[in-house]
C-alpha cells in the first residue's frame, strides 16, 4: 500500500524530514524525538506536546535558523535513520505468521483515542482502539484502522464557580490535526460515495500514520454535499437517532467501500463494537459481484473473516433503530443485495418475536455476519452469553458462541518516563515488542528501596502537574487562590477518574461524607483524593454527581485535600495513573464490561482497589490489591450500594491507609512495596495490549483469514456448499424426531441407545449428542453418539450409541440433535437444536 502525503507547508530542504516525524503518531508513545521538538520551540512544546502543531505554527524565520543549525540537522538525520532502522527490524508477527497470512485486518471503530492532538474519542472504547492500533504497530500485525474525523470531537469540560459542568465544543481545524488528505495515484483527494435516500453522500478521506500502520478517517464536511449532510460527522455521539444511523452507515459502508476503492485486500474485518456492523453488508455486497453469487452465499463466505467484539454489558446497551427509519435508508440497499426488505430486517432482529415494530439491532446484525464473537473480559464473556441467548433459542446459555479476550493497555503510552527507565533496567528495551515470558521474574529482582523511590517520584510528579493545572483552572474562574498549599507529595494519594454516569457510582465514596472527611484529615495518616471525569451532556444524574463532589470539596477542612481536575482526557488520565498510589473503581456489577483505566496504573506501581467486576474480577488476588463486592449481582440497588460503601470505607480505614503508613526503621513501607512488586510482576504483562493483540491474532485473525480464504476458493465452492447445507437443515429441521431412548448400566458407566429419525436430512449433516448441564462445579458434558445400524422400516432413521460416566443419574443426560459440518461454526452459523422431550 502506497500513501503519498499532501503537505500544507513546504519546509527548507534540510528540514524536510521533520514532516515525516511530525506526522507519525508514534511520537505519542515513543519519546526519542521529544528533545528535537523541544529544540524547535520550547514554549509550544511545553504547552502542547504536539509536534504537528509546532510545525504548523513555527515562523519561517525560526525554520531558517534551524536549517542553518548543523547540530540540529544532524540530530534530525539521526532520528530519521533510527526510525527507518526500527521499521526494518523483524517483528513478532513476521516471525510467527509472515507467510501464513496475506492481506490486512481492517479494524473498524467509531472512536480512536491515540493522542490528545487528535480528539476523536470520548472514553474507554476509543482509548482501547488507539492502544490496539499502536500495539499492532509494535508487533507488526498488518492492521488498518477505519474511523470518522469529527469536526468537533467529544465536548471539553470546565466547571463554573458553582461547580457545575459547562460544555465546550471547540472546532477541530483539520490543518491543526496530525492528519493529511489521502491522495490517489493521480494526486487527487480520495473520496467515497454512499447512497442516501434521493441523494449521494460524498465522503472525504484523511490519513493518519501510526508508526507503520494507517488509520483512515472519513468525513462528510464536503462542500458538494447537501448542507444538512455536511454535519453528519460533526460530533461524536451527538445528534439524535437518525444522525447516529447516518454515522454508522458512513463508518461501515463508507469504510468498507474505501478499502475496496483503494484495492486493499482485507480478509479479516474486526468490528470494535456493533456500530460498524454495516461493513458486513457492504463486504458481502462487493463479494457478490466479484464471485457472481447470491447475497446469502457471499455472506456465508465473507462472514468467516469477520470478528465482532462486543463491549455491551446489558441488554439495553446495543444500538437499535426503528424499522421505519432503518428502511428509509436501506430500501434501495436491499435491492442492491438482491434480497427482500423482510430478509434484510431479519438480520437485525431476534427472530423469536413476530413484532412488526421490533427495532433493528446492530449487535444482532454483527452476530449474523460474524465468524467469531468475543466479549472483553472473562466475566463479560459470560454476561454476553446471557445477553445474546435470544439469538440461540433452546441452546444452553453456556453454549452461546461468545468467547472473551480480556482488554489490555498499551504500556508505553501509559507508563511514566521513570517507569520506562525502571522497566528497561529490569527487563530490557524491547520488552513490549515480543512475547513477555521473562518480565515477571526480571521485575522481582528490583529491591524495595528502588521501588519505593520510584513510587514517591511518581506521586511528586503528579502533585506538580496538578498544582499547575489547578492554577490554570483558577485563572479561568479568575480567582487567585494560592495553589501551592494543595496536595502534599508525601500523603497517600487516591485517584478516582472516569466518566460520571450512574453505573460507575462516582459518588459511592460520598455515601457518608463525614466518615470520608475523617479518613482524609487524620493528622498522622493523611490521605488526599483526586477526582476527574465528564458527564455526558444529557446525563443529569452524572452532572449531579459532579456537583456533589464540588460541593463536598469546598468544606474548609478539606482545602487542598480533595481536587477535581477538569476536562478528563488522555493527558490527564496519563498523569493520574502515573502518580496515584491507589486507583479506585466502584462500578455496579456487571456493568463494567472490562474497564481499562485500572490497568494503566500497573506499570507505574499504583495499586487497585476495585469492585469485582470486569477485568478486576479476573485479576484480583489478595497480594496485588483490594476488592469490594461479593462476585454477585444484586437487585436491591440502594441496599447493596450502602453495603458496598461500608466495605469500601472499612478497607480504606483498616487495610489501605495503615498499610501505607506502616514503615520500618528507615521509613520504608515494606508491606506496601511487596504489594507493588506483586501487582507489577503478576498483572502488568497480562493486562497489556501486547498480550491482547497477540491473543486476537493467534485465536482470531490468523484462523479467520484461513477460514475466509477457504470459503472463497474455487469460485466459492465451500461457501455455496455451506449455504446449501444450511438451507437444507432449515427446510427439514421440524421433521426430525426421536424414537426410543434407553440407558443401561455397563462397566464404563451408562450405555445409551438413541433412535433418531432424520427425515430429509443426510446423516452427515447433523450430530446426535448427549448433554448434561454443569453440576458440582464441573463442566457441562457433551458426548457425541456413534451412528450404528439403520432402523427398520424407516428411510433415514438410525440407532446411535455411546457411553457416559455414571457419576450422576442417567436422567441428567438428554439426547439432542445439532447441526454438524466440519467447516461450520455451530451454533453461530446454524442455531437449530432438537432436544429429546
**Contacting positions for ligand PLP (CB under 6 A):** 123-124, 127, 498, 568-570, 573, 595-597
Instruction: Specify whether the CB–CB gap between 758 and 736 falls below 8 A.
Output: yes
Quickly list H helices, 396-500: 411-414, 417-427, 439-444, 448-477
550 vs 586 by CB, closer to ligand PLP: 586
Cα 823 to Cα 837: distance, rounded to the nearest angstrom: 29
570 vs 761 by CB, closer to ligand PLP: 570
Is 783 strand, coil or helix?
A: strand
597 vs 755 by CB, closer to ligand PLP: 597
Instruction: Specify whether the CB–CB gap between 323 and 360 falls below 8 A.
Output: yes
Q: Minimum distance from CB of 614 to ligand PLP (Å)? A: 8
How is residue 438 annotated by DSSP? T
Would you report the helix, strand and coil content of the chain in percent, each value rounded to 5? 45, 20, 35
Q: Minimum distance from CB of 126 to ligand PLP (Å)? A: 8
C-alpha cell, 774: 454443569
Q: Minimum distance from CB of 369 to ligand PLP (Å)? A: 28
> SS3 letters for 120-184?
ECCCHHHHHHHHHHHHHHHHCCCEEEEEECCCCCCCEEEECCCCCEEEECCCCCHHHCCCEEEEC
Q: Minimum distance from CB of 552 to ligand PLP (Å)? A: 21
593 vs 781 by CB, closer to ligand PLP: 593
Of 156, 152, 134, give the one whose Cα is nearest residue 143.
134
Q: Minimum distance from CB of 427 to ligand PLP (Å)? A: 24
Of 742, 764, 745, give the one whose Cα is nearest residue 817.
764
Place of cell 496530525: 178
Cα 365 to Cα 252: distance, rounded to the nearest angstrom: 12
Q: Minimum distance from CB of 691 to ligand PLP (Å)? A: 17
Is 630 strand, coil or helix?
A: coil
Q: In angstroms, what is the C-alpha Rg of the chain?
A: 29
Q: Minimum distance from CB of 558 to ligand PLP (Å)? A: 24
613 vs 723 by CB, closer to ligand PLP: 613
569 vs 705 by CB, closer to ligand PLP: 569
615 vs 813 by CB, closer to ligand PLP: 615
Cα 826 to Cα 733: distance, rounded to the nearest angstrom: 15
408 vs 827 by CB, closer to ligand PLP: 408
Cα 306 to Cα 287: distance, rounded to the nearest angstrom: 14
Cα 267 to Cα 37: distance, rounded to the nearest angstrom: 39
Is 470 strand, coil or helix?
A: helix
Of 119, 103, 121, 102, give the one whose Cα is nearest residue 111.
121
389 vs 596 by CB, closer to ligand PLP: 596
Q: Minimum distance from CB of 136 to ligand PLP (Å)? A: 18
414 vs 454 by CB, closer to ligand PLP: 414
Q: Minimum distance from CB of 132 to ligand PLP (Å)? A: 13
Q: Minimum distance from CB of 463 to ligand PLP (Å)? A: 20
Q: Look at strands 492-497 and 360-361 and give their pairing.
A: unpaired
599 vs 702 by CB, closer to ligand PLP: 599
Cα 761 to Cα 657: distance, rounded to the nearest angstrom: 68
Q: Minimum distance from CB of 570 to ligand PLP (Å)? A: 5
Q: Look at strands 607-611 and 625-628 and give their pairing.
A: parallel
Amino acid at each position: 500500500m502506497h500513501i503519498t502525503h499532501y503537505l500544507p507547508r513546504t519546509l527548507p530542504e534540510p528540514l524536510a524530514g521533520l514532516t515525516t516525524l511530525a506526522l507519525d503518531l508514534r511520537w505519542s508513545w515513543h519519546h526519542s524525538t521529544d528533545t528535537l521538538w523541544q529544540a524547535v520551540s520550547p514554549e509550544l512544546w511545553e504547552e502542547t506536546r504536539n509536534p504537528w502543531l509546532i510545525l504548523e505554527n513555527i515562523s519561517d524565520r525560526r525554520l531558517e535558523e534551524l536549517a542553518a543549525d548543523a547540530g540540529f540537522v544532524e540530530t534530525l538525520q539521526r532520528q530519521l535513520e533510527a526510525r527507518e532502522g526500527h521499521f526494518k527490524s523483524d517483528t513478532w508477527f513476521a516471525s510467527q505468521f509472515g507467510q501464513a497470512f496475506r492481506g490486512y485486518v481492517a479494524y473498524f471503530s467509531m472512536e480512536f483515542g491515540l493522542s490528545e492532538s487528535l480528539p476523536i474519542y470520548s472514553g474507554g472504547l476509543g482509548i482501547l482502539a488507539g492502544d490496539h492500533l499502536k500495539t499492532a504497530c509494535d508487533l507488526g500485525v498488518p492492521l488498518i484502522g477505519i474511523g470518522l474525523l469529527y469536526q468537533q470531537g467529544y465536548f471539553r469540560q470546565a466547571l463554573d464557580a458553582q461547580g457545575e459542568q459547562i460544555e465546550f465544543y471547540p472546532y477541530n481545524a483539520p490543518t491543526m490535526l496530525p492528519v493529511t488528505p489521502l491522495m490517489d495515484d493521480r494526486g487527487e483527494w480520495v473520496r467515497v460515495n454512499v447512497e442516501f435516500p434521493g441523494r449521494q453522500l460524498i465522503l472525504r478521506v484523511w490519513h493518519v500514520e501510526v508508526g507503520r500502520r494507517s488509520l483512515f478517517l472519513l468525513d462528510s464536511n464536503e462542500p458538494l454535499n447537501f448542507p444538512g449532510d455536511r454535519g453528519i460527522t460533526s460530533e461524536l455521539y451527538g445528534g439524535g437517532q437518525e444522525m447516529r444511523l447516518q454515522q454508522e452507515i458512513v463508518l461501515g459502508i463508507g469504510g468498507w467501500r474505501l478499502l475496496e476503492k483503494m484495492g486493499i485486500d482485507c480478509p479479516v474485518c474486526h468490528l470494535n463494537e456493533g456500530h460498524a456492523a454495516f461493513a458486513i453488508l457492504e463486504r458481502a455486497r462487493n463479494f457478490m459481484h466479484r464471485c457472481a453469487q447470491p447475497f446469502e452465499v457471499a455472506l456465508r463466505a465473507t462472514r468467516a473473516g469477520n470478528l465482532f467484539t462486543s463491549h455491551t454489558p446489558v441488554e439495553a446497551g446495543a444500538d437499535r433503530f426503528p424499522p421505519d427509519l432503518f428502511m428509509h435508508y436501506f430500501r434501495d440497499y436491499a435491492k442492491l443485495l438482491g434480497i427482500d426488505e423482510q430478509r434484510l430486517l431479519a438480520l437485525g432482529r431476534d427472530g423469536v418475536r413476530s413484532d412488526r415494530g421490533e427495532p433493528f439491532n446492530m449487535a444482532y446484525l454483527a452476530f449474523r455476519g460474524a465468524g467469531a464473537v468475543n466479549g472483553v473480559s472473562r466475566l463479560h464473556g459470560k454476561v454476553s452469553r446471557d445477553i445474546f441467548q435470544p439469538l440461540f433459542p433452546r441452546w444452553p446459555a453456556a453454549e452461546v458462541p461468545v468467547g472473551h479476550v480480556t482488554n489490555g493497555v498499551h504500556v508505553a503510552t501509559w507508563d511514566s518516563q521513570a517507569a520506562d527507565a525502571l522497566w528497561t533496567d529490569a527487563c530490557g528495551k524491547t520488552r513490549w515488542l515480543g512475547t513477555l515470558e521473562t518480565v515477571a521474574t526480571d521485575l522481582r529482582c528490583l529491591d524495595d528501596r528502588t521501588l519505593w523511590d520510584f513510587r514517591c517520584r511518581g506521586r511528586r510528579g503528579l502533585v506538580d502537574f496538578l498544582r499547575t493545572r489547578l492554577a490554570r483552572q483558577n485563572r479561568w474562574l479568575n480567582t487567585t487562590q494560592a495553589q501551592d498549599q494543595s496536595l502534599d507529595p508525601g500523603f497517600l494519594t487516591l485517584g478516582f477518574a472516569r466518566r460520571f454516569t450512574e453505573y460507575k457510582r462516582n459518588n459511592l465514596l460520598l455515601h457518608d461524607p463525614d466518615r470520608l472527611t475523617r479518613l482524609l484529615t487524620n493528622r498522622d495518616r493523611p490521605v488526599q483524593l483526586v477526582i476527574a471525569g465528564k458527564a455526558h451532556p444529557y446525563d443529569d444524574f452524572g452532572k449531579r454527581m459532579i456537583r456533589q463532589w464540588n460541593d463536598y470539596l469546598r468544606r474548609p477542612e478539606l482545602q487542598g485535600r480533595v481536587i477535581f481536575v477538569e476536562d478528563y482526557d488522555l493527558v490527564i488520565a496519563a498523569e493520574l495513573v502515573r502518580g496515584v498510589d491507589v486507583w479506585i473503581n466502584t462500578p455496579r456489577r456487571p456493568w463494567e464490561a472490562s474497564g481499562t483505566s485500572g490497568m494503566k496504573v500497573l506499570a507505574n506501581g499504583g495499586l487497585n482497589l476495585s469492585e469485582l467486576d470486569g477485568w478486576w474480577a479476573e485479576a484480583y488476588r489478595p497480594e496485588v490489591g483490594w476488592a469490594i463486592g461479593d462476585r454477585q449481582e444484586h437487585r436491591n440497588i440502594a441496599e447493596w450500594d450502602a453495603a458496598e460503601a461500608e466495605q469500601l470505607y472499612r478497607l480504606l480505614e483498616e487495610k489501605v491507609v495503615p498499610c501505607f503508613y506502616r514503615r520500618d526503621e528507615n521509613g520504608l513501607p515494606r508491606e506496601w512495596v511487596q504489594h507493588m512488586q506483586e501487582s507489577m510482576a503478576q498483572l502488568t504483562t497480562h493486562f497489556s495490549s501486547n498480550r491482547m493483540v497477540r491473543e486476537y491474532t493467534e485465536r482470531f485473525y490468523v484462523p479467520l483469514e484461513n477460514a475466509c480464504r477457504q470459503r472463497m476458493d474455487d469460485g466459492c465452492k465451500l461457501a455455496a456448499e455451506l449455504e446449501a447445507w444450511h438451507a437444507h437443515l432449515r427446510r427439514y429441521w421440524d421433521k426430525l424426531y426421536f424414537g426410543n431412548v434407553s440407558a443401561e448400566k455397563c462397566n464404563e458407566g451408562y450405555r445409551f441407545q438413541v433412535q433418531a429419525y432424520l427425515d430429509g436430512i443426510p446423516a452427515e449433516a447433523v450430530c446426535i449428542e448427549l448433554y448434561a448441564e454443569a453440576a458440582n462445579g464441573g463442566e457441562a458434558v457433551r458426548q457425541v453418539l456413534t451412528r450404528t445400524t439403520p432402523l427398520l422400516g424407516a428411510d433415514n432413521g438410525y440407532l446411535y450409541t455411546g457411553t457416559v460416566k455414571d457419576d450422576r443419574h442417567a436422567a441428567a443426560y438428554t439426547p439432542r440433535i445439532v447441526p454438524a459440518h466440519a467447516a461450520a461454526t455451530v451454533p453461530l452459523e446454524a442455531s437449530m437444536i432438537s432436544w429429546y422431550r
